[in-house]
Amino acid sequence: MRKRSRKAAIRLSMESPLVGISEQSRGLPPGTPIYIGDREPTQAKLSIYVFDEASWHLECPATVAALLDLIDPDKVNWINVNGLTGGAVERLCERLGVHPIAVADVLNTQHRPKVEQYDDYLFMITKMLSPREDGSVEYEQVSFIVKPHLVVTIQETPGDCFGLIRERIETGAGRVRRKDSAYLAYGLFDLIVDNYFSVVEGIGDRLERYELEAARPADATEFMTGLQGLKSELLRLRRAIWPVRDSVAVLMRLESSAIPPDLIPFLRDLHENLIQVIEALETYRENGASILEIYLSSVSNRMNEVMKVLTIISTIFIPLTFLAGVYGMNFHYMPELAQPWAYPALWAVMVAIAGGMILYFKRKHWF
């Protein structure tokens, strides 16, 4: 997988949508939680924010047991787990009473985004996107477990887009300190979706570069491969973001105490943002098709131009060369050869032929 990823930069971004699942999970009973993904096993890092309107504190305990002791049921608790290996996620979920199938989904980093309502918690899988340096997109799965007074977020690796919420918890800015766990979960989700915009804009910038190059690309094969790769990337993004949109639609329709009514307008807003992202992807896909058509048409035009040059030069000189050949023949009786006016006359004929041809091509708009 590692190797395949590296290759992807110069090829269609054809990362197998199934990679690793069958090898790693085969031979285990269904529902057995097992880590499925392509990152190096690292020890999961735990952190917990406990806050209410009056105060907040942040701890980074080393063990799940220590973490659970820190939960204060009268405040809002936000547990963040970075890293899926090492067993911490399983232990945490077990202690929180999460269904084993849901835990297996958390650990399967190829899982489709979804929302599921269990008796006493809400379970969500979503994707955090971030642009890589080479312009491609990194997909990181983020799972949410939302209980009253508790939000658990589980990420694959350190590094996320939640900095703003942390800042607001710490400074007390915005609504987050005054609201419940559902609002906190919404705020985190909102930041993930906000990030989609910049990822999609990055795609748009790459597309723009192809657009500028379309009429005369430096390297045709690279152009085609890159454009098709971008098309694949757009499809992958669409496939990642579409179920996120569905998840939000599900949340809006959920008649659950987990979703307080005053959160609905915020969810609706989130839903509209996701629609906007998806429409942008559609627009880019159509622009990509237009760029391809412009490229193909310009290839065909250049071919045409090449053919015309060949044809003009050939059709002008071939008859003239024939005439020169005729008067280069060694027949003993060629009366023209002896006439003093013959040579200049032939030149006149040749110029006339060439001129006639050029006029003909001019009239045909060949140049």
Pair of tokens at residue 137? 């997109």
Is residue 239 a contact residue for its own copies (CB under 8 A)? Answer: yes
Q: Does 120 sit near its own copies (CB under 8 A)? A: no
Binding residues among 81-110 for its own copies as defined by CB under 8 A: 99, 101, 104-105, 110
Which residue stretch of 47-55, 59-67, 137-145, 267-275 sits at the interface with its own copies (rule: CB under 8 A)?
267-275
CB 179 within 8 A of CB 130: no
Single out the segment in contact with its own copies by CB under 8 A; choices: 63-71, 87-95, 134-142, 269-277.
269-277
Q: Which of residues 305-324 bind its own copies (CB under 8 A)?
A: 305-311, 313-315, 317-322, 324
Among 187, 192, 233, 244, binds its own copies (CB under 8 A): 187
Q: Which helix (H) or strand (E) holds 145?
A: strand 137-147
Give me the sheet containing 76-82, strands edge to edge.
56-59, 45-51, 76-82, 150-155, 137-147, 122-131, 114-117
Residue 36 identity (one-letter amino acid): I
245 binds its own copies (CB under 8 A): no
261 near its own copies (CB under 8 A): no
Nearer to its own copies, 63 or 290 (CB): 290
Least distance from its own copies to the Cβ atom of residue 211, Å: 6
Please state whether 260 falls in left (phi above 0), alpha (psi between -120 and 50) or beta.
beta
Whose Cβ is closer to its own copies: residue 30's or residue 73's?
30
Q: Give whichever of 55 and 290 is closer to its own copies, judged by the CB atom.
A: 290
In this structure, are residues 97 and 147 in contact, taking their beta carbons and an 8 Å threshold?
Answer: no
Of the listed pieces 52-60, 139-147, 245-253, 271-279, which binds its own copies according to CB under 8 A?
A: 271-279
Stretch that binds its own copies, among 89-97, 140-148, 150-158, 301-309 (CB under 8 A): 301-309
Instruction: Let me know if 234 is exposed, middle or buried by CB neighbors in 10 A (0-12, 13-18, 19+).
Output: buried
Comparison of 44 and 192: residue with beta carbon closer to its own copies: 192
54 scored as a contact of its own copies (CB under 8 A): no
Asked if 208 is part of the footprint of its own copies (rule: CB under 8 A), the reply reads yes
Does residue 332 interact with its own copies by CB under 8 A?
A: yes
Q: Which residues pair with 59 in a beta bridge?
A: 48
**Cα angle, residue 116 at apex, residues 115 and 121 outer, rounded to 5°:** 115
* Helical spans, DSSP H, in the chain: 2-8, 21-25, 64-70, 88-96, 100-107, 163-171, 181-213, 220-253, 264-326, 335-338, 342-363
Determine phi and psi for 7, rounding to 5 degrees: -60, -30
Tell me the per-residue interface mask from 337 to 366 with its own copies, x by CB under 8 A, - otherwise: xxxx-xx--x-----------------xxx
Residue from 178, 180, 176, 151 nearest 166 by CA: 176
**Using rule CB under 8 A, residue 139 touches its own copies:** no
Q: What is the CA radius of gyration of the chain?
A: 34
**Taking CB under 8 A as the rule, which mask of x and - marks residues 9-38 in contact with its own copies?**
--xx-x-xxxx-xx--xxx-xxxx------
Phi-psi group of 122: left, alpha or beta (phi > 0 → left; psi -120 to 50 → alpha; rest → beta): beta
Does residue 304 touch its own copies according to CB under 8 A?
Answer: yes
Of 61, 86, 135, 174, the one binding its own copies (CB under 8 A) is 174
Stretch that binds its own copies, among 58-66, 71-79, 83-91, 219-227 (CB under 8 A): 219-227
Q: Please count the other Cβ atoms lying within 10 Å of the Cβ belonging to residue 331.
A: 7
Sign of the Cα pseudo-torsion (292, 298, 299, 300, in order): positive
- Judged by CB under 8 A, the residue of 235, 348, 349, 352 near its own copies is 235
